[in-house]
């Protein structure tokens, strides 16, 4: 790989004696990663099912290196949401965020969904996850990944940071800003980042990141956490932006990062030469973490802050209306599942969704979806949606066809074909080794396929 000469000069200036080690790391092949989605399968169960060798990564408890060739799109376990393909060090920011059960968490720049699905797994179906992506097309991909991974308690929106901050002030226990950046840490993974790199773009990204952070800070509650991350090495986008944030937001303090991967952020006298505007401001390298290629990941930076005072106000709660299809929704859910109905039914267009509880007001926000799509209104009945089965647990499915990953019938199902079955008549979950991947409707010894056309293997 031929790196830009100006980039190399910057890195030599930044790394000093470690520069040779940095350049040498690019001679090693890119290491791909797998993260177990514990919403669908626990770690031990997944490891017993996954057909290739995995090596634990230091960046997340459920993260692994995958050094063998693998096409996830052809793997039934991937379709079932049992895992997420994620560059190993990309999971480090959520490890630092440390989501706790019951918390309300905002992932502000969330597409394509690796960090959001990791947060959702940590929440374990409790609390609330708000996943936002400004670019609408990328938000659609984010929504698909949330659905595939069985996330029940998420809101999906497509807004700029300022729009969210204007409504969701002081609402979240924790906020993750995985900011758009110059992408220096993705040169091997995404060649476009290499061709688009320039010092001018570094400066442009740093300015944009500070605008995003300024808005994000407004959404954090008193005592809440704000974690900022990038996939670049540039000090202007990393330590210097962390220093700028502390200098301009006295209601936040550094939050030391007590993890062992990577190394501490660089000392301030090492980075201020790249950005003279922040010289002399308060700064704590222990509240930052750097991951360089020789640490086992492609390149990430993480900084953590805690809000020390209360925001002036918080948003009003969402007023859940009584829905006209609530009874039909409850009946459909009870026909398909033995567990208690989760969420609050609300008809949006021709779809009845199960909204998560604890929502703030949604007025004025470009929300694309919330909760799980339960059913589609068809004349005088509800037909179940794929999403509610993707979010199901096998033990709760009243009718279940569970197949081994190498069963030819499972491949046929993922192609959209009907299956022969002796199961009871009705809507039936189809699972990969007891991990639901979709559903069909059984009648007369046949299962009519309801796997969405856009997801099928052709």
Give the active site residues. 231
Cα–Cα dist 452/408, whole Å: 19
Cα–Cα dist 178/301, whole Å: 10
Buried b / exposed e over 88-106, threshold 16 CB at 10 Å, is bbbbbbbbbbebeeebbbb
Give me the half-sphere count of Cα atoms (radius 13 Å) on the Cβ side of residue 59.
34
Cα–Cα dist 79/359, whole Å: 29
Cα–Cα dist 224/98, whole Å: 12
Report phi then psi at 110, rounded to 5: -95, -20
Cα–Cα dist 312/71, whole Å: 50
Q: Of 399, 396, 402, give the one whose Cα is nearest residue 341.
A: 396
Are 52 and 75 in contact by the 8 Å Cβ rule? The answer is: no
Helix 136-148 vs helix 114-123: crossing angle, to nearest 10? 40
DSSP 85: E
Q: Where are the beta strands (DSSP E) in 109-208?
A: 128-132, 154-157, 172-178
DSSP 278: G
Strand order, beta sheet including 446-449: 400-403, 426-432, 435-443, 446-449, 419-420
Report phi then psi at 196, rounded to 5: -95, 0
Cα–Cα dist 236/14, whole Å: 11
Q: What angle do CA 86, 87, 89 make, to 5 degrees?
A: 115
DSSP string, 2-32: ---HHHHHHHHHHHGGGHHHHHHHTTSPPPE
Q: How far is CA 147 from the centre of its chain?
A: 11
Q: What angle do CA 145, 39, 432 make, to 5 degrees?
A: 80
Are 372 and 391 in contact by the 8 Å Cβ rule? The answer is: yes
C-alpha dihedral (104, 108, 112, 117), degrees to nearest 10: -10
Cα–Cα dist 81/45, whole Å: 13
DSSP bridge partners of 438 = 430
């Amino acid at each position: 790989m031929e790196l830009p000469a100006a980039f190399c000069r910057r890195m030599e200036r930044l790394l000093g004696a470690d520069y040779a080690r940095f350049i040498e790391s690019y001679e090693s092949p890119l290491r791909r990663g797998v993260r177990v989605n514990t919403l669908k399968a626990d770690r031990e169960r997944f490891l017993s099912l996954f057909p290739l060798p995995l090596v634990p990564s230091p960046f997340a408890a459920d993260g692994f290196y995958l050094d063998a060739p693998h096409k996830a799109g052809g793997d039934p376990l991937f379709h079932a949401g049992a895992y997420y393909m994620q560059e190993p060090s990309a999971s480090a920011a959520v490890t630092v965020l440390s989501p706790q059960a019951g918390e309300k968490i905002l992932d502000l720049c969330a597409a394509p969904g690796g960090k959001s699905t990791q947060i959702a797994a940590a929440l374990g179906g409790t609390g609330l996850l708000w996943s936002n992506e400004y670019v609408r097309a990328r938000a659609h991909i984010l929504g698909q990944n949330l659905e595939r991974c069985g996330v029940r308690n998420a809101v999906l929106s497509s807004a700029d940071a300022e729009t969210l901050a204007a409504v969701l002030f002081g609402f979240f226990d924790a906020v993750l800003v995985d900011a758009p950046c110059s992408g220096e840490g993705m040169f091997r993974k995404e060649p476009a980042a290499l061709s688009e790199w320039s010092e001018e773009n570094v400066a442009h990204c740093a300015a944009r990141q500070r605008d995003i952070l300024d808005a994000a800070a407004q959404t954090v509650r008193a005592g809440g956490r704000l974690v900022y991350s990038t996939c670049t090495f540039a000090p202007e986008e990393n330590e210097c932006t962390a220093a700028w944030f502390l200098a301009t937001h006295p209601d936040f303090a550094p939050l030391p990062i007590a993890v062992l991967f990577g190394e501490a952020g660089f000392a301030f006298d090492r980075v201020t030469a790249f950005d003279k505007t922040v010289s002399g401001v308060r700064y704590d390298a222990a509240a930052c973490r750097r991951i360089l290629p020789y640490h086992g990941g492609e390149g990430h930076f993480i900084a953590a802050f805690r809000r020390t005072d209360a925001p002036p106000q918080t948003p009003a709660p969402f007023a859940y209306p009584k829905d006209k299809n609530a009874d039909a929704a409850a009946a459909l859910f009870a026909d398909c599942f033995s567990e208690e109905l989760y969420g609050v039914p609300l008809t949006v267009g021709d779809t009845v969704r199960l909204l998560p509880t604890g929502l703030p007001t949604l007025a004025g926000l470009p929300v694309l979806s919330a909760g799980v799509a339960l059913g589609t209104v068809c004349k005088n009945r509800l037909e179940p949606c794929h999403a509610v089965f993707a979010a199901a647990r096998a033990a709760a499915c009243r009718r279940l066809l569970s197949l081994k990953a190498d069963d030819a019938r499972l491949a046929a199902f993922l192609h959209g074909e009907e299956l022969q079955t002796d199961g009871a008549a009705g809507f039936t979950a189809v699972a990969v080794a007891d991990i639901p991947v979709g559903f069909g409707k059984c009648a007369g010894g046949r299962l009519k396929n309801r796997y969405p056309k856009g997801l099928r293997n052709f």
